[in-house]
């Protein structure tokens, strides 16, 4: 059976090593180090007060004890304080309350960003504390401090998450409350539009002054008047702060106009809503606030005009909002690796990069083979080495790029050595040994593609492929044998064609006793010279010759030593057969006898019955011969 490997074992080993490299060390650390006291995470005030009493009894004034007391006070406060039940918002009853709700909506959106940032920081701090505690013995003096700090972070995380959930819920409720308020509040549209005009004019003036100041600042810097440039820069910052305040005022005033148009179901509200979103984008670089404002405008439009009218009135801004929603969905984390969130988008891009790496590697490999075939100076072994090394390099680069796209810190590969130790304990020592042996064979080139090798008494053939894990040998029976690379490093390998394709063949033969040995040698050598066989190699040190090896039992034993250069050295049995037939014909034509074994048998002792039978047989044979010697009339007639 012919078995041809496709590299699946190498890919599985690579995936397993990467998985162990990220998870193995952390698991080992957590299993060997201290563990966090579970009572600290149950938010039991009695347990905290008990610990506080122990600290007070110690009467210590060190910073360590002061920090522990402070953390316990915070934990007691958290444990005795009721958690936030969420934000209660009501339908506005007048224009001021309506505008105030919109301002609070903006602050909620900004708070979401800050809370998300704090949650991320707290999680990072908790991970650091987990690693520190895992490396500590149970008797460490500062273990309690780290455990209290971890419990404080965990409770803070719950508080931040509750606040974030409350803010998100309030933001979702706000559009419906605002639309419900439009039916009973009155909006002074004339004053609102006049305020918008004044606001627009003031913003344009400030922007003109800011641009003028920036140009003047560049002039002062070129003139190396740094003091005046610094003073002018401070003035520009004040103007920019004023512009931000005016943009906030414009945003609130535009929202009042938008609400008035919604109340009257004026489709001009779609254009005003787009203007609000545009002002929001110029007001801040916070994408979360931009998305929340755009979602608020779109939801209010849908509640007032309906889905169909809103859909037909949507412009490019609404399409961008839909795209942003889709982006937020696919960019949401689905799982994490070492604290790094992995989203559908990151996973898809990483798989795409890895696929591109495999495709690019295969394209490179095929192009190298195609170009090198046209270049006769490159051997097949060199061509295969260049193709394989380039292919593996491209695949590894693609794999590392995919990890970077997913946000996994490549510095984590510093723990690969420890991961490999764990992997070897799970039975990967053979895979690692074969991988390293494959690299050694590729660079050492003691065995190359196309070499004819003899691995053992039963395995002999031509090397057709060298991979990172194994080598493929094609025997003369056209059987592909997969041999692990480690075996080529640990065992003796005979390479018939390592430096050249010249090999000596010893062809034994024998002639009968009484034959002139010199005549035998002369006949065979002359026949070799006349034999039209192009692969016979002849040089000053390598010439065909016939030697007499010994005088055997039945023959004089000779050996034809001949050098062959070419592909026939990879067919040793066929080559020997060819020359044996050639020697047989040459000796037969010269009348030289090729003997067969002759033996004389002497019976030293036999049984009496066997001797009796042999004597009777001899007497009967003598009688028969004497009877046949007297011819009969019939026999004479026949004669």
Query: What b/e string do you get for 548-580 counting C-beta neighbours within 10 Å, with b at 16 or more?
Result: eeeeeeebbbbbbebbbbeebbbebeebeebbe
Torsion of CA 155, 160, 162, 164, to 10 degrees: -170
The pLDDT score that the predictor gives to residue 121 is: 92
In a domain, 65, yes or no: yes
Residue 133: closest CA among 26, 35, 32: 35
Residue 147: closest CA among 31, 35, 26: 35
DSSP secondary structure code for residue 469 in this structure: S
**Residue 488 and residue 509 in one domain:** no
The pLDDT score that the predictor gives to residue 2 is: 35
**Residue 289 and residue 168 in one domain:** yes
Question: Which secondary structure element, helix H or strand E, spans residue 230, and what is its range?
Answer: helix 226-263
**Residue 382 and residue 527 in one domain:** no
The pLDDT score that the predictor gives to residue 603 is: 60
Going by their DSSP bridges, the two strands 480-484 and 340-343 should be labelled as: unpaired
Asked whether the beta carbons of 304 and 297 are under 8 A apart, the reply is: no
User: Is residue 484 helix, strand or coil?
Assistant: strand
**Residue 581 and residue 467 in one domain:** no
The CATH number given to whatever domain includes residue 422 is 1.10.287.1260
DSSP secondary structure code for residue 148 in this structure: H
Torsions phi, psi for 550 (to 5 deg):
-170, 170
- Answer positive or negative: Cα dihedral of 486, 489, 493, 497: positive
In a domain, 531, yes or no: yes
In a domain, 83, yes or no: yes
Cα gap 107→73, rounded to integer Å: 30
**Boundary of a domain, candidates 336, 353, 380:** 336
Residue 294: closest CA among 251, 263, 264, 247: 251
Residue 292: closest CA among 319, 317, 321: 321
**Residue 385 and residue 527 in one domain:** no
The pLDDT score that the predictor gives to residue 4 is: 38
Asked whether the beta carbons of 538 and 497 are under 8 A apart, the reply is: no
Structure tokens at 474: 């094609």
In a domain, 317, yes or no: yes
Q: DSSP assignment of 337-370, as one string? A: ETTEEEEHHHHHHHHHHHHHHHHHHHHHHHHHHH
Cβ-proximal residues to 96 (8 Å cutoff; 6+ apart), any chain: none
User: Is residue 501 helix, strand or coil?
Assistant: coil
**Residue 91 and residue 53 in one domain:** yes
The CATH number given to whatever domain includes residue 546 is 3.30.70.100
Structure tokens at 86: 């969420």
Cα gap 264→5, rounded to integer Å: 74
**Residue 287 and residue 154 in one domain:** yes
Cα gap 293→281, rounded to integer Å: 10
The CATH number given to whatever domain includes residue 461 is 2.30.30.60
**Residue 544 and residue 424 in one domain:** no
Asked whether the beta carbons of 561 and 567 are under 8 A apart, the reply is: no
Total domain count, the chain = 4
In a domain, 249, yes or no: yes
- Answer positive or negative: Cα dihedral of 551, 556, 557, 559: positive
* Residue 546, Cβ density class (10 Å: 0-12 exposed, 13-18 middle, ≥19 buried): buried
Cα gap 43→196, rounded to integer Å: 53
Cα gap 388→10, rounded to integer Å: 14
**Residue 321 and residue 180 in one domain:** yes
Question: Which secondary structure element, helix H or strand E, spans residue 472, and what is its range?
Answer: strand 470-475
Cα gap 241→238, rounded to integer Å: 5
Q: DSSP assignment of 149-205, as one string? A: HHHHHHHHHHHHHHHHHHHHHHHHHHHHHHHHHTTT----HHHHHHHHHHHHHHHHH
In a domain, 276, yes or no: yes
In a domain, 619, yes or no: no
**Residue 489 and residue 525 in one domain:** no
Torsions phi, psi for 341 (to 5 deg):
-70, 135
Cα gap 387→442, rounded to integer Å: 11
The domain of 461 spans: 449-495
Residue ranges of the chain whose pLDDT lies below 50 = 1-32, 312, 625, 629-639
Neighbours of 515 (CB within 10 A): 20
User: Is residue 607 helix, strand or coil?
Assistant: coil
Cα gap 242→432, rounded to integer Å: 65
**Boundary of a domain, candidates 442, 457, 472:** 442
Neighbours of 192 (CB within 10 A): 18
**Residue 348 and residue 399 in one domain:** yes
Torsions phi, psi for 43 (to 5 deg):
55, 45
| Cα 408 to Cα 327, 339, 401, 529, 585, distances in angstroms | 20, 9, 10, 72, 76
Cα gap 285→281, rounded to integer Å: 7
In a domain, 223, yes or no: no
**Residue 113 and residue 42 in one domain:** yes
């Amino acid at each position: 059976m012919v078995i041809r490997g496709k590299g699946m074992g190498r890919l599985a080993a690579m995936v397993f090593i990467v998985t162990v490299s990220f998870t193995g060390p952390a698991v080992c650390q957590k299993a060997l180090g201290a563990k966090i006291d579970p009572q600290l995470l149950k938010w039991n005030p009695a347990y905290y007060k008990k610990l506080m009493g122990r600290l007070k009894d110690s009467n210590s004034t060190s910073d360590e004890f002061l920090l522990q007391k402070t953390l316990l006070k915070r934990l007691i406060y958290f444990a005795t304080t009721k958690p936030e039940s969420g934000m209660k918002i009501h339908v506005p009853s007048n224009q001021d309350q309506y505008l105030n709700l919109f301002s609070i909506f903006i602050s909620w959106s900004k708070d979401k960003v800050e809370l998300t940032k704090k949650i991320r920081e707290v999680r990072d701090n908790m991970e650091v504390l987990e690693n520190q505690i895992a490396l500590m013995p149970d008797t460490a003096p500062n273990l309690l401090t780290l455990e209290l700090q971890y419990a404080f972070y965990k409770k803070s995380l719950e508080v931040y998450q509750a606040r974030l959930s409350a803010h998100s819920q309030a933001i979702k409720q706000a559009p419906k409350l605002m639309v419900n308020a439009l039916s009973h509040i009155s909006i002074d549209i004339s004053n609102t539009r006049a305020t918008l005009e004044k606001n627009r004019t003031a913003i344009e003036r400030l922007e003109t002054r800011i641009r003028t100041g920036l140009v003047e600042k560049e002039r002062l810097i070129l003139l190396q008047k740094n003091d005046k440039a610094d003073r002018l820069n401070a003035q520009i910052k004040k103007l920019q702060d004023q512009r931000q305040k005016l943009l906030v005022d414009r945003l609130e005033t535009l929202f009042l106009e938008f609400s008035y148009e919604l109340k009257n179901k004026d489709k001009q509200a779609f254009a005003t809503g787009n203007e609000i979103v545009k002002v929001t984008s110029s007001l801040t670089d916070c994408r979360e606030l931009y998305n929340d404002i755009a979602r608020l405008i779109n939801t209010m439009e849908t509640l007032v005009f309906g889905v169909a009218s809103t859909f037909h009135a949507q412009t490019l801004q609404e399409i961008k909002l839909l795209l942003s929603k889709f982006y937020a969905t696919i960019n949401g984390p689905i799982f994490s690796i070492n604290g790094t969130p992995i989203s559908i988008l990151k996973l898809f891009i990483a798989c795409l990069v890895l696929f591109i790496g495999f495709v690019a590697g295969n394209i490179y490999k095929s192009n190298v083979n195609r170009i090198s075939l046209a270049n006769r100076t490159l051997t097949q072994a060199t061509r295969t080495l260049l193709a394989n090394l380039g292919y593996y390099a491209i695949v590894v680069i693609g794999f590392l790029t995919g990890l970077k796209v997913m946000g996994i810190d490549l510095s984590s590969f510093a723990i690969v050595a420890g991961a490999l130790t764990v992997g070897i304990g799970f039975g990967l020592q053979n895979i690692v040994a074969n991988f390293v042996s494959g690299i050694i064979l590729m660079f050492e080139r003691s065995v190359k593609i196309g070499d004819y090798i003899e691995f053992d008494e039963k395995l002999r053939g031509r090397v057709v492929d060298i991979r990172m894990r194994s080598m493929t040998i094609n025997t003369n029976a056209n059987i592909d044998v997969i041999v692990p690379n480690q075996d080529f490093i640990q065992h003796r390998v005979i390479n018939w064609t390592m430096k050249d394709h010249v090999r000596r063949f010893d062809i034994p033969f024998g002639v009968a006793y009484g034959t002139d040995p010199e005549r035998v040698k002369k006949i065979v050598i002359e026949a070799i010279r006349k034999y039209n066989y192009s692969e016979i190699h002849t040089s000053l040190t390598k010439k065909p010759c016939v030697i007499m090896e010994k005088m055997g039992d039945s023959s004089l034993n000779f050996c034809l030593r001949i050098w062959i250069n070419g592909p026939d050295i990879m067919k040793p049995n066929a080559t020997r057969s060819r020359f044996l037939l050639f020697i047989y014909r040459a000796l037969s034509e010269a009348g030289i006898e090729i003997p067969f074994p002759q033996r004389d048998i002497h019976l030293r002792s036999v049984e009496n019955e066997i001797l009796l039978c042999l004597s009777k047989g001899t007497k009967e044979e003598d009688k028969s011969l004497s009877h046949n010697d007297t011819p009969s009339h019939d026999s004479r007639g026949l004669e």
